[in-house]
Chain A
Amino acid sequence: MNCKDIKELIFEYLDGGLDSENIRRFDDHLSSCEECRVELAGVKSLWMKLDDIEMEQPSENLKKNFDNMVNAYTLGVSGTRTPWYEAFSNWLEAWWPKRSFTQFAATIAVLIIGIVTGLSINESAESKREIGQMQRDMDNLQQVVMTSLLNESSAVDRISGLTKTNQLENVDGQFYSTLLLLLNSDSNINVRLAAVNALANFADNGYVRHELVKSLDLQSSPLIQISLIDLLASIKEPDSSSTLVRLINDPGINEHVKTRAKTALKEFI
């Protein structure tokens, strides 16, 4: 073996990957070559020293966000099992005329049929049915929006889904959880911002307000922190004062966030 061979095999030697014949030849060369001995010692000591770089423990948020993500994903997957409204919408779309003139004519025809039918039906029975139907439509809309939020892989689609949430009323706890999951665990900052705006529409709900305060503790992006602080200040949520104080005193927090937190805190004092 010469010095070039030694350099090619040095790591294999260190790692114990050489067979006995090669080890013997390697050792033979080392015994007669000072330069290779020094080289081996240097590489070996640095290789061992790398073990001293400590593995850090990630923060608790990582596990929390992971659990949120898995729960959101599970909800999303189960939501795709009964997409009857999608099938219905596709069926309708297949019937819908492609040319704009025909579309216009079809719309007018449907309108006339609707008016004539409406006039000929008993009004009180119809209004009861309408209310029931509207309620079902709202439930379905909530389902559609939720499913789109959890299944859309593109951030633009998730944001678009979030902007539709202001059309919803009488939503349930599961719906709030979906928005909060996006706020706390979506990987895209614009989606998280859109989630703050969407949740602002439901800030009269106690659970939402409580979770918004909790979320402020979880967020690491200054932009989200600021928009949450602004929202909590605008709804004058008194429970957020202790979190605001924590942010102001935390040396790791962005100065702009601190200034905003101080301004918001004045609202409660």
Chain B
Amino acid sequence: MKQDNEIMLSVKEGDIQKLGKLFDRHSKRLYNYFRLQVRSRSKSEDLVQNVFYNILRYRHTYKDGASFTAWMYTIARNEKINHFKKNNFPEGKIDPELSDEKSNNPENDLEHKTDIYHLNMALERIPADSRELLILSKFTELPYSQIAKITGCTTGTVKVRIYRALKKLKGEFVKISGA
């Protein structure tokens, strides 16, 4: 978004308080990007905070005309990778002990749709890179060309990989729900 670029340029030039505008616009999506992968609300909030701290620290590296969102998600992706490394936990698996998302169990929440619960479970079971691609393409509003940049491949490859990720998700979803 052009406006994001202009705001980020002001931040780069020293108007640090303007970062709040970018935070208001993007923090919710960014939080959900982490939450759906890390499965801990408090940890996801810490990671969002780290991303914005790094945006401030490395603001001088932001280039005029670049996509702010793609830059931000590149930083977010590195934060997520570091998080899994630091906790010595393979990214592909989600530690049930660390997860604070237990309230999503339909037994605890009668109004919750079983389908969505199963879909969430299926998302947890597919490989980390497939999960990330689905989250990036569904929840961040990033165009495929930017997802390709962030993940280091071509736009065509991104689409084929999303299809494959969907196939894996479908396989797990069918296993869980018996659909």
Give A residues with C-beta under 8 Å from B.
7-8, 10-12, 15, 17, 42-43, 46-47, 49-59, 61-63, 65-67, 69-70, 73-74, 77, 153, 185, 187, 220
Contact = CB atoms under 8 A, between A and B. Distances in A.
Nearest to A17: B159
Contacts of B162: 11
Contact of A47 (B17, B36, B139, B166): B166
A49 B16 contact: no
B32 A56 contact: yes
A56 B115 contact: no
Contacts of B123: 53
A73 B23 CA distance: 15
Contacts of A7: 163
Interface stretch (B2-10, B43-51, B65-73): B43-51
Interface in B121-179: 123, 134, 138-139, 144, 159-160, 162-163, 166-167, 169-170, 173
Given A11-B163, A43-B166, A65-B45, 16 more contacts: A7-B163, A10-B163, A11-B166, A12-B159, A17-B159, A43-B170, A46-B166, A49-B119, A56-B41, A61-B45, A62-B27, A66-B23, A66-B49, A69-B53, A70-B17, A187-B46
Nearest to B52: A66
12 contacts: A11-B160, A50-B119, A52-B113, A52-B119, A55-B28, A63-B27, A67-B20, A69-B52, A70-B16, A70-B19, A70-B20, A187-B53
B32 A11 contact: no
Contacts, number: 97
Contact of B27 (A43, A46, A58): A58
Contacts of B159: 11-12, 15, 17
Given A58-B44, A187-B46, A46 B169 contact: yes
Contacts of B167: 43
Given A43-B170, A57-B28, A50 B138 contact: yes
Residue among B50, B52, B53 with max Cβ neighbours from chain A (10 Å): B53
A187 B163 contact: no
Contacts of A46: 166, 169-170, 173
A15 B145 CA distance: 13
Given A53-B120, A62-B31, A66-B27, A153 B57 contact: yes
Interface residues of B, number: 44
Contacts of A49: 115, 119
A51 B138 contact: yes
Given A46-B169, A52-B113, A187 B49 contact: yes
Nearest to B101: A56
B116 interface: yes
A58 B28 contact: yes
B93 interface: no
A77 B41 CA distance: 31
A187 B31 contact: no
A153 B56 CA distance: 12
B105 interface: no
A29 to B, nearest CB: 16
A70 B17 CA distance: 7
Contacts of A50: 119, 134, 138
Contacts of B27: 58, 62-63, 66
B12 interface: no
B20 A53 contact: no
Given A11-B162, A47-B166, A70-B17, A53 B28 contact: no
B35 interface: yes
A69 B49 contact: yes
Contacts of A70: 16-17, 19-20, 56
Given A58-B27, A66-B52, A53 B19 contact: no
Nearest to B46: A187
A84 B98 CA distance: 47
B30 to A, nearest CB: 9
Contacts of A17: 159
A203 to B, nearest CB: 27
Contacts of A11: 159-160, 162-163, 166
